[in-house]
Amino acid sequence: MNKANFTFHNDVEIPKIGFGTWQIPNEEAYDAVTMALKNGYTHIDTALAYKNEENVGKAIKDYNLSREEIFITSKLPAQIKGYEETLKAFEETVTNLDVDYLDLYLIHAPWPWDDMGKDCTEGNIQSWKAMEKLYNDGKIKAIGVSNFEIKDIQALLDHCDIVPMANQIPFYVGRDQEDLLAFCKEHNIVVEAYSPLATGELLDNNDIKAMANKYEVTPAQLLIRYCIERDTLPLPKSTHEERIVQNKEIDFNISEDDLKKLMEMEDVRK
């Protein structure tokens, strides 16, 4: 249960917990990523849309790890669909980060954020083909998607060659998306959990607080551990060092009974 890595279907390994940088502005990203690296995170998750790639890359570079020791994920902006457009956006990302290759590159969403639900199937297929090329050229170690539902993934399976290696989705206690989890499992797609704390909204929940007390952990640790117990890869994020440290100390087990209770909870954000 306490394995260090998940393994993609192409045998590339990804550290079992990542440091998320969504909503961390470029000015704060350098310090936040440096703190994460200092405290043993070796997997950093960013995106062109977060507008912080430059300082994420600089922090990684200044920390003087060899490139192989660090796992970097970035994402193709949700509104960019198409073959050439994807190649261009990828170049922008590797230039911002100042790296030769990415460990994981994801389509950020199946539709633009200002037009959620729009059918962009053809655009996603063309973007995916560009990502397959980048993968085959050795510029990315693994490729995947984010915020994709079953039908969105199915379109890639039907029209493309490479099965996505990951799907990064909002996942937390109360938002389990069982059908999507089962589908990803069936196709050997690693599910990455973003917003494992429901963007902080679950931290004050009385049931979560009581259960965390029982395990002598914080609510955040219980919630992050829950992701691991559900076989998803948590991407907690914080700009505070004590929390960055705490969010990684999750080597305990949640009992079957408590897991069941957590799985029955309602989504606090609905």
Residues 2, 228: Cα–Cα separation, whole Å: 9
Number of residues that bind ligand A2P (CB under 6 A): 18
Q: Looking at 17, 220, 233, 250, which residue binds ligand A2P (CB under 6 A)?
A: 220
Using CB under 6 A, which of the segments 3-11, 56-64, 123-131, 234-242 binds ligand A2P?
234-242
- For residues 4-23, which are near ligand A2P according to CB under 6 A? 20
Would you tell me the crossing angle of helices 256-263 and 219-229 to the nearest 10 degrees?
100
Phi, psi of 252 (to 5 degrees): -140, 170
State the nearest-atom distance from the C-beta of 110 to ligand A2P, in Å.
21
3-state secondary structure of 172: strand
Q: Does 243 bind ligand A2P (CB under 6 A)?
A: yes
Q: Torsion over CA of 12, 18, 21 and 26, rounded to 10 degrees?
A: -70
Q: Does 195 bind ligand A2P (CB under 6 A)?
A: yes
Q: Does 174 bind ligand A2P (CB under 6 A)?
A: no
State the nearest-atom distance from the C-beta of 232 to ligand A2P, in Å.
13
- For residues 44-103, which are near ligand A2P according to CB under 6 A? none
Using CB under 6 A, which of the segments 70-78, 198-206, 225-233, 250-258 binds ligand A2P?
198-206
Q: Does 203 bind ligand A2P (CB under 6 A)?
A: yes
State the nearest-atom distance from the C-beta of 189 to ligand A2P, in Å.
21
Q: Looking at 35, 131, 196, 222, which residue binds ligand A2P (CB under 6 A)?
A: 196
- The residues, any chain, with a CB within 8 Å of residue 186's CB and separated by 6 or more, are none
Pick 86 or 247: Cβ nearer ligand A2P: 247
State the nearest-atom distance from the C-beta of 28 to ligand A2P, in Å.
9
CB 105 within 8 A of CB 98: no
Question: Which of these, 59, 38, 56, 60, lies nearest to 48 by C-alpha position?
Answer: 56
How big is the chain, counted in residues? Answer: 270
Q: Does 247 bind ligand A2P (CB under 6 A)?
A: yes
Pick 17 or 198: Cβ nearer ligand A2P: 198
Question: Which of these, 233, 224, 162, 225, lies nearest to 191 by C-alpha position?
Answer: 233
Ordered strands of the 102-107 beta sheet: 19-20, 43-45, 71-76, 102-107, 140-146, 166-170, 190-194, 233-235
Residues 48, 75: Cα–Cα separation, whole Å: 6
Using CB under 6 A, which of the segments 1-9, 44-52, 153-161, 232-240 binds ligand A2P?
232-240
* Enzyme catalytic residues: 50
Q: Does 199 bind ligand A2P (CB under 6 A)?
A: yes
Q: Does 177 bind ligand A2P (CB under 6 A)?
A: no
Q: Retrieve residue 56's tokens.
A: 């994420």
Phi, psi of 233 (to 5 degrees): -105, 105
Catalog residues that contact ligand A2P under the rule CB under 6 A. 20, 195-200, 203, 218, 220, 236-240, 243, 246-247
